[in-house]
Structure 1
Amino acid sequence: MEKHYVLLYYCYSKIEDPETFREEHHKLCLDLNLRGRIIVASEGLNGTVSGTQEACEKYMSAVTSDPRFAHTEFKVDINDQPAFEKMHVRVKPEIVHSSLKEIDPTKKTGGYVEPAEFRKILKEESEDTIILDVRSNYEHMIGKFKNAITLDIDNFRDFPEKIEELKKFKDKKIVTYCTGGIKCEKASAYLLEQGFENVHQLHGGIIKYGLEAEGEDFEGKCYVFDNRIVKDVNQVNPTIVSRCYVTNEPCDRMVNCANPHCNKHIPMSEKGAEIYKGCCSEECMNNPDRREYDGTGFYQKKMNGYNPYKGLKRKATKQD
């Protein structure tokens, strides 16, 4: 069976006409038969795409051949199954949703810490260094770096609200991290703007650390934004840090509550799922709109004759 490549990347670079660029980029992805999710904004690109090795190599070459994105760094993973079922390329105000639109990471951001150096920092466990997770609750709940400081936030846009509680670390060296690095570009810049002086960021995030430093001392699994939901990154000393929402047993399997009105995203073991038929509680199980639990807890919308050309202004031709 042919393996599927998964590319995770971002690039902060000015795009003068995001709508036109989106059209052209969407067409490129369809020509290569890629699937994934790409966000286009005036500040740059952010995407995860999946396809054959040949298609992904052509895509990376096409992106980096554009001078605006020549410095794009791709994190390349290999998976047995496609990581997406559809191809979406959308224009949005930002390439990562935040409340920090005024920050331009090309002008100001925290200094990069490469995976090998970060690995040493984790080993040192210095009281003068703070490892700061800037991801949301559901992400760090399933996995985080050893001794990392986590924030009680439901969305990255809530990060600025945590500055007051972070001020006690102003005299420390702060190293931020996230999944692939994109959130840290703005989070570290915001910390600098708020008067923090010794601010750095893990270059390429958890994913690059897993690829280049074997993921050592990352506890649990890494939450990813594709059909895999969670991903193993630690090849040295893996652990399970999350617990089943229903049974409280160790569990790193993420599901959505089968009650669509709840849809809570939580760790749930197969045993826990049996108790409430894929729901998080008896109340949700008894909801008349409860979805039929299929063993996965992943309720993706059905394809229903998915047309990959939907959203393109140009009509597809036979040559397309």
Structure 2
Amino acid sequence: MSKYQTLLYYCYSHIENAEQFAADHLQFCKSLNLVGRIIVADEGLNGTVSGDSGSCAKYMTAVKADPRFKETDFKIDDVEEPSFIKMHCRYKTEIVHSGLRDPNIINPGKKTGIHLEPSDFREMMDRDDVVILDVRSNYEHSIGRFKNAVTLDMENFREFPEKINQLAKFKDKKIITYCTGGIKCEKASALLLHEGFPEVYQLHGGIIKYGKEVGGQNFEGKCYVFDSRVAVDVNSVNPVAISTCRNCGSVTEKMINCANPECNEHFTQCDCCGTLLDGACSEECKSHPRKRIYDGTGYYVKVPQPVNVKSKSRINDNVLD
């Protein structure tokens, strides 16, 4: 066992006084010397935390000891060092932002697509009557996705409801949704059922669980994760790289944020171009007076930006999957 671990998890379960719970939970995590990001909402928990293996074990035991979260499925990665710098636990209106808070439409505790275990997903994925639907954002599926998956052109998950009309041609098929850890599928599959798709399934535990349990067969590229690792290997059966450097077009699976904080664009860049452009996406950004020091990772702690400057960041300010 590695000295450190990173835990990915979510649980849809109503939390009374969720804002206070978030404050208390932050202190609990700090008492265990954990780092990470947790979102707390009235509807449940969504988190990635990291620390030494003993602290992670205590955390999982404590979470599952709470009757509200006893069914939480933790995805555990051994890591060389903690995957975050600080510990954040914040209250928000949803644990994954969909913009749909009407419980008559979206209520993962009552109605979702049928959960498929990784082995069942692997058996179904190549059938002619099945469509594999990626419900993640562009920057996530650009670096890795299942072979022949249908992807949607969206910057974030809250755009998913407006994209459903594009899927109408698949209503006579079995739809299987997938995402990183499963949380987006709970809402995506529920919305598809509400919109009249008759047979909807979801990959239980997402890409991460699929990789751990059945070797990640037919997942092409790497899986984007919301921590300092940025992307992780999934496929140990038939791996293939699919992403290319934005600047030169060579094959690369390295994803970074532009070193210019006023751009902060999230994109794939090979090490050669990273060196030439000093971690920037262009010569213009390379010469920007506020350009950050590039250490070869392209991962930066979020910094304040001038008023009215829109951030393009995905790695530092996005919600967890």
Instruction: Return the offset for 1:81.
Output: 1.1
Determine the C-alpha separation between the residues in 1 that align with 2:159 and 2:259: 27
1:45-99, CA deviations, whole angstroms, 9 ceiling, x for partnerless residues? 0101111111111111111111111111111111111111111111000001112
Is the counterpart of residue 109 in structure 1 residue 122 in structure 2? no
Instruction: Return the offset for 1:108.
Output: 1.1
Determine the C-alpha separation between the residues in 2 that align with 1:180 and 1:110: 15
Tell me how large the CA RMSD over aligned residues is: 1.3
Determine the C-alpha separation between the residues in 2 that align with 1:301 and 1:191: 35
Runs of 5+ consecutive residues of structure 2 not aligned to the other structure = 304-321
State the AA in 2 paired with 1:143. Answer: G
Residue in 2 that maps onto 1:256: 257
Residue in 2 that maps onto 1:172: 173
Is the counterpart of residue 121 in structure 1 residue 134 in structure 2? no
Determine the C-alpha separation between the residues in 2 that align with 1:219 and 1:121: 17
State the AA in 1 paired with 2:112. Answer: T
Residue in 2 that maps onto 1:211: 212
Secondary structure of the 1:175 match is strand
Bigger drift between 139-148 and 266-275 goes to 266-275
Secondary structure of the 2:133 match is strand
Secondary structure of the 2:274 match is helix
| Runs of 4+ displaced beyond 3 Å | none
Instruction: Return the offset for 1:166.
Output: 0.4
1:165-196, CA deviations, whole angstroms, 9 ceiling, x for partnerless residues? 10000110000000000000000000000010
Aligned residue pairs: how many? Answer: 300
Is the counterpart of residue 17 in structure 1 residue 17 in structure 2? yes
Residue in 1 that maps onto 2:70: 70
Determine the C-alpha separation between the residues in 2 that align with 1:23 and 1:287: 38
Is the counterpart of residue 49 in structure 1 residue 57 in structure 2? no
Determine the C-alpha separation between the residues in 2 that align with 1:241 and 1:34: 34
State the AA in 2 paired with 1:17. Answer: N
Residue in 1 that maps onto 2:314: none
Runs of 5+ consecutive residues of structure 1 not aligned to the other structure = 303-320
Residue in 2 that maps onto 1:316: none
| TM-score, normalising length: structure 2 | 0.91
Larger radius of gyration: 1
Determine the C-alpha separation between the residues in 2 that align with 1:160 and 1:23: 31
Determine the C-alpha separation between the residues in 1 that align with 2:147 and 2:217: 9
State the AA in 2 paired with 1:148. Answer: A
Output aligned runs, 1:150-299, within 5 Å: 150-299=151-300
Bigger drift between 31-40 and 196-205 goes to 31-40
Determine the C-alpha separation between the residues in 1 that align with 2:174 and 2:279: 43
Instruction: Return the offset for 1:274.
Output: 2.3
Determine the C-alpha separation between the residues in 2 that align with 1:3 and 1:231: 18
Residue in 2 that maps onto 1:132: 133
Determine the C-alpha separation between the residues in 2 that align with 1:200 and 1:174: 6
Determine the C-alpha separation between the residues in 2 that align with 1:19 and 1:118: 37
Determine the C-alpha separation between the residues in 2 that align with 1:85 and 1:287: 26
Determine the C-alpha separation between the residues in 2 that align with 1:86 and 1:143: 27
